[in-house]
C-alpha cells in the first residue's frame, strides 16, 4: 500500500491522502463457502473483491450500511426486501441500509461490494484510516 499527499491542491493534508492498493497482494478469505474475498477499508468505506462459485449463496441478513454490488463477471441473483433481480456484468445492485437481502450465484464470477459507512466487523486483513 502506498500513500501520497498532494499539499499543492489541499488545505488539509489528512483529507487529501491518496492511497493505492494492489488487491492481488491482499490475502484471500473464504468467509462463506464459495465466496472468496480480498478486503480493505478506506477511511469511510469497506471494499470486498469477491470470486464466487455457481450455486453458492449468502444468507438473508441486514446491516446498517448501504451496500453496492458491482458485477464484473458471471451472474447472480440479488434479493432485496423480497424483490429478486438477476445481475450480470454492467449491472449494479444498491442495497439500502437495514434492508434484508440475500445473494445466490447462478454461475462462477467476480464482483466488488462496497459498504458505506465503514463496516466494523468482521475485521479485514488490510486497512487504511
Q: Which CATH number characterizes residue 85's domain?
A: 2.60.120.10
Quote the number of domains for the chain: 1
Alpha carbon distance, N-terminus to C-terminus of the chain:
12
DSSP 35-58: EEEEEEE-SS-EEEEEEE-TT-EE
* Inside any domain, residue 6: no
The reported pLDDT for the residue numbered 125 is 45
pTM score, two decimals?
0.82
* Inside any domain, residue 42: yes
pLDDT reading at 104 higher than 60: yes
* Inside any domain, residue 113: yes
118 φ, ψ (degrees, to nearest 5):
-45, 135
Which residue range(s) make up the domain with 112?
A: 23-127
Mean pLDDT computed over 50-74: 97
The reported pLDDT for the residue numbered 120 is 75
Amino acid at each position: 500500500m502506498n500513500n501520497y499527499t498532494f499539499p499543492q491542491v489541499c488545505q488539509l493534508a489528512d483529507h487529501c491522502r491518496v492511497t493505492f492498493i494492489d488487491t492481488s497482494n491482499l490475502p484471500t478469505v473464504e468467509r462463506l463457502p464459495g465466496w472468496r474475498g480480498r478486503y480493505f477499508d478506506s477511511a469511510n468505506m469497506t471494499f470486498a473483491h469477491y470470486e464466487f462459485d455457481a450455486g453458492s449463496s449468502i444468507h438473508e441478513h441486514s446491516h446498517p450500511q448501504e451496500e453496492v454490488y458491482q458485477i464484473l463477471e458471471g451472474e447472480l441473483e440479488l434479493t432485496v426486501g423480497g424483490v429478486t433481480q438477476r445481475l450480470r456484468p454492467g449491472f449494479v445492485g444498491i442495497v439500502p441500509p437495514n434492508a434484508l437481502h440475500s445473494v445466490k450465484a447462478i454461475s462462477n464470477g467476480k464482483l466488488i461490494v462496497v459498504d458505506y459507512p465503514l463496516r466494523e466487523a468482521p475485521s479485514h486483513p488490510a486497512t487504511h484510516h
